[in-house]
Amino acid sequence: PDESIPIHLIKIGKTRGRKNFKNILDLRDSIKKHGLINPITVSRKPDGTYLLIAGECRLLAAIKIPWTKVPCYIKENLNAMQEKELELEENLQRTNLSPYEECDLMEQIDTLKKEIHGHKTPGRGGKEEGWGIGDTAKLTNRSIGQASQQINFAKKLKARPDVADRVKKLPLKHAMKEFDRILEAERLERLRDAGHLEVSLDFRFGDAKVLMQTIEDSTVDLVVWDPPYGIDELEKTTSDTKSGKMKAADNLSQKDAIDLMVELLMEVERVLKPGAHFYIFFSFNNLNDLEKNLTIVGLEFSDVPIIWDKQTSTTIFKGYNFMSGYEPILYGWKPPRGKRLSKSCKNIIQCKGVPKKEKLHAFEKPVELLANLIKLSSNLNDIVLDPTAGSGSTLSAAMQTGRRPIGFEIDKEHYLRALVRLQEEQEEIKGAADG
């Protein structure tokens, strides 16, 4: 080192690249034991102070020892731009920068170099002059694509610090995707609020095994499905409502329910986009069959189900067993896994069921619950599919959250009741947008 300098004379700039100092105490202990192997670098200022160029962690660790002086390399006669240039280049050589710190430093270096040399333009004799992304990539030992990606992401983070706070804990690759997803969702929300986003509804009467074949491969963003369970006890415990009795297609025999599951799961795998999520309501009686067939068709799922807490009992207490008050939901995805949930959430969701007098279908699920799942796993204008739509609640939730629903129903009475309600809701949503 050139000399040891009193620590109180060393100033730290406000725009330095490093933001994380979590290992300071370990570094302090190492310096106390072995000494400062790599002196810090400073620039001498006219007023007798020094500006830190490289070694902020080492300086902070020395302060905590506590030292009053620290060994330094001294740079002379640097202007402000040269100081910043040297600081950025030296900091980028460190191996323990976070990915976000790297992006920030890359953007600062690129901006500073362009201020010094000007933006790259064609010069005399066809020779380019100035500084471009290729120069930054070469200086930092990166490909042009990687350098461009890091610099652009740093600019996005600075332009939208509110979104940056939402993604900063994610791995960099996922953060970049999530950042773009959030911005796209905001754009679609603006279109919706302005009445420029079409409220679509594709609800068809017929056999899902046939109608699913009309959907193109890898076009669906989310599947929310409440298939027939094939459990005789359900018909004994489910009372009729004024809207009509349970229909044969609502429950099916165990064999027919499994056969339907097998056929439709193959179609679900085909139509889902890679990475897209699905939610399937199920009974623990048929969980083994469901998991086995999901694995056969190549879909992946969470080992732990989501629990829908209905906040009330759904069976009568007879003194021998606990009363039931929940329903399980299987959460899964089409590989490769890459899509993230829109927010953190527990795997227990509390939501009251649909009051009996308001039900169109014996097993109707509340729109609030379905909308919650839809918002967790899809974006505005995404396609949401329910292969056996029943009362149309999933389609209703999809419309109300600005998605594009597709659904099928094989029972004509269920279909017509649901269609009337969905068309009324569609007009209400359109009217609200126009108003």
Could you report the per-residue pLDDT of 112-131, keeping only the tens digit for each? 889 888 998 876 666 788 89
What's the CA gap between 160 and 140, in Å, rounded?
Answer: 26
Q: Which residue has the higher pLDDT, 187 or 388?
A: 388
Q: pLDDT at position 194, please?
A: 76
Tokens of 197: 């986003």
- 95-99, 220-224, 225-229, 232-236, range with the lowest pLDDT: 232-236
- The secondary structure of 144-184 as a DSSP string is HHHHHHHHHHHHHHHH-HHHHHHHTTS-HHHHHHHHHHHHH
E strands in 89-238: 121-122, 128-129, 202-205, 220-225
Tokens of 89: 């280049």
Mean pLDDT over the full length of the chain: 86
Work out the angle at residue 409's Cα, subtended by the Cα atoms of residues 404 and 410, and round it to the nearest 5 degrees: 160
Q: What is the pLDDT of residues 144-191, one digit of tens each?
A: 999 999 999 999 999 999 999 988 888 888 899 889 988 988 887 788
C-beta of residue 229 within 8 angstroms of C-beta of residue 251: yes
Residue burial 73-98, b: 16+ Cβ < 10 Å; e: rest: eebeebeeeebbbbbbbebbeeeebe
DSSP-derived pairing of the beta strands 326-333 and 300-301: antiparallel
Q: pLDDT at position 231, please?
A: 60
Architecture of domain 202-231+250-315+322-434: 3-Layer(aba) Sandwich (3.40)
Fold (topology level) of 3-86: 3.90.1530
Domain boundaries, the chain: 3-86, 97-120+129-193, 202-231+250-315+322-434
Q: What percent of the chain has pLDDT over 70?
A: 89
Tokens of 4: 């040891």
Q: What is the pLDDT of residues 52-81, one digit of tens each?
A: 988 888 999 999 999 999 999 998 888 877
Whether the predicted pLDDT of 248 surpasses 60: no
Q: pLDDT at position 16, please?
A: 65
Q: Report the candidate in 46, 56, 131 with the shortest Cα–Cα distance to residue 88.
A: 56
Write the CB contacts of 245 (distance below 8 Å, at least 6 apart in sequence).
362
pTM above 0.75, yes or no: no
Tokens of 176: 């970049």
